Amino acid sequence: MPAPHGGILQDLIVRDALKKNELLSEAQSSDILVWNLTPRQLCDIELILNGGFSPLTGFLNENDYSSVVTDSRLADGTLWTIPITLDVDEAFANQIKPDTRIALFQDDEIPIAILTVQDVYKPNKTIEAEKVFRGDPEHPAISYLFNVAGDYYVGGSLEAIQLPQHYDYPGLRKTPAQLRLEFQSRQWDRVVAFQTRNPMHRAHRELTVRAAREANAKVLIHPVVGLTKPGDIDHHTRVRVYQEIIKRYPNGIAFLSLLPLAMRMSGDREAVWHAIIRKNYGASHFIVGRDHAGPGKNSKGVDFYGPYDAQELVESYKHELDIEVVPFRMVTYLPDEDRYAPIDQIDTTKTRTLNISGTELRRRLRVGGEIPEWFSYPEVVKILRESNPPRPKQGFSIVFGNSLTVSREQLSIALLSTFLQFGGGRYYKIFEHNNKTELLSLIQDFIGSGSGLIIPNQWEDDKDSVVGKQNVYLLDTSSSADIQLESADEPISHIVQKVVLFLEDNGFFVF
């Protein structure tokens, strides 16, 4: 089993256990400055406190931050590719100076740690975006950097009170120390870790077993359950899939543990970071995938990263990483032989192969199409269908545009009455929001539960991000309307028919 990165597992929970009560009293005193951690910061601090980010013992100060951004190293020369920073707004930054003590809380209630400030600095986000994420403004991490993250960073050391509280899957959330002990108790000295943020299917099981066989190692399925790419399948669905897929491995060869990581989707740099983290968790080998941790393509169809950038960068650091890199080998199904095989070992001009892309899988889930057993296990498909129902089971919202002059109340009643007569088990509701954020944020919740909403009034443009776009349709005379009317005072019966036919065309109704 490899030593942790930097030589020592920085388990701050163990280190600070004897002064926990003292730190807790300080955090709950009225004199201390308090910061409520963001979702990303909660992920980061958990991995600092439990040693997953060893050798870090706090959030990066300016010297370490600048060195990581420009050189992929901490100021002392240690390899580290992703800046781990505590971002705050200007008002909070103005209250801080070196040696200030800050109590860091989860959900404004749970004290997690106390930070002793080393410095407060305003980063050059343009340089960070270019150096760490390659500068494309459509990159999700760059969007986060400029639109969500605070303008100031606070560097400093942490003293641990407790890990962030999780109420789901407590038995699967192993810390590095716990996982290392688990491997030792099983006498697993060679472990190949598999990183994923997606559901696993037969091909993933096949490639991990092949990697284990080639490395003469066991398998750690180590999926990310922190923040991933916007639009990814939720982690609850994915964990149910992982719990099912782990049963399909030979007894005693595979172990499942969840990683509370906030991914940055930073491609090659992130692959190196992932390897360091898995080394801290006790893995001796790490599978690096094709376009590992990349966010795909931008709106112009251009890849954010090359397909093998991650493998090449990790390989260039192999002597410092002290973890064996296992390149991801794409496998494909051979229907005539009923088996999977690496695509690079197959002459596809002579041998028939089958595969289903992620896009095609999502389409089949959306329309209720067949997903064959050679691709995925029936139990896995059942889990995915529960969380990704076909269109007739999905929810939707019909939003009345500002140009409509017909009676909005009567049109709402007419649509509700029409929808109810169709049956089908979908819940329908006329939804008034009064442009209140707390009400608008419920729209996607209703849609996600399969409800049909009739929304008589549009919201202000600045609330679009609150509502989202999934299955939200505008009824209006404008050219941008999803359901376009010929005139603002079109007869209600005509409007109802257009709405019904639109919903049928889009698969929400099947007559």
C-beta pairs of 411-420 under 8 Å, 24+ apart in sequence: 411/456, 411/492, 411/495, 411/496, 412/454, 412/456, 414/492, 414/493, 414/495, 414/496, 415/454, 415/496, 415/499, 416/454, 418/496, 418/500, 419/452, 419/454
Tell me whether residue 271 is annotated as binding. no
According to the annotation, is 289 in a ligand binding site? yes
Q: What pLDDT sits at residue 289?
A: 83
Is the domain covering 391-506 a CATH 3.40.50.300 domain? Answer: yes
CB contact at 8 A, 70 and 115: no
The β-bridge partners of 58 are 157
Helix (H, G, I), strand (E, B) or coil at 416: helix
**pLDDT digits (tens), the chain, 511 positions:** 899 999 999 999 999 999 999 999 999 999 999 999 999 999 999 999 999 999 999 999 999 999 999 999 999 999 999 999 999 999 999 999 999 999 999 999 999 999 999 999 999 999 999 999 999 999 999 999 999 999 999 999 999 999 999 999 999 999 999 999 999 999 999 999 999 998 999 999 999 999 999 999 999 999 999 988 777 888 999 999 999 999 999 999 999 999 999 999 999 999 999 999 999 999 999 999 888 888 988 888 898 999 889 999 999 998 999 999 888 778 899 999 999 998 888 888 899 999 998 888 888 887 888 999 999 999 999 999 988 888 888 999 999 999 999 999 999 999 999 999 987 789 999 999 998 989 999 999 999 899 999 999 999 887 887 888 889 999 999 999 999 999 999 999 999 999 999 999 999 998 8
* Contacts by 356-365, CB closer than 8 A, 24 or more apart: 358/198, 362/388, 365/390
Same fold, 176-259+265-387 and 391-506: yes
Instruction: Provide the token pair at 86.
Output: 């505590």
Which of these, 106, 14, 118, lies nearest to 59 by C-alpha position? 118
Query: Is 78 annotated as contributing to ligand binding?
Result: no
Was 358 annotated as part of a binding site?
no
Q: What is the pTM of this model?
A: 0.87
Whole-angstrom distance, CA of residue 222 vs CA of residue 108? 29
For domain 176-259+265-387, is the CATH number 3.40.50.620?
yes
**Active site positions, annotated:** 196-198
Nearest of 234, 505, 235, 490 to residue 396 by alpha carbon: 505
| Residue 343 pLDDT | 85
Give the number of residues written for the chain: 511
The answer to whether the annotation marks 195 as part of a ligand binding site is yes
Give the span between the Cα atoms of 36 and 42, in whole angstroms: 9
User: Is 348 assigned to a binding site?
Assistant: no
Q: CATH for 12-160?
A: 3.10.400.10
Q: Residue 372 and residue 354: Cα distance in Å, rounded?
A: 11
Domain ranges of the chain: 12-160, 176-259+265-387, 391-506
> 222: which 2 tokens?
């180590």
Give the per-residue pLDDT at 163. Answer: 98
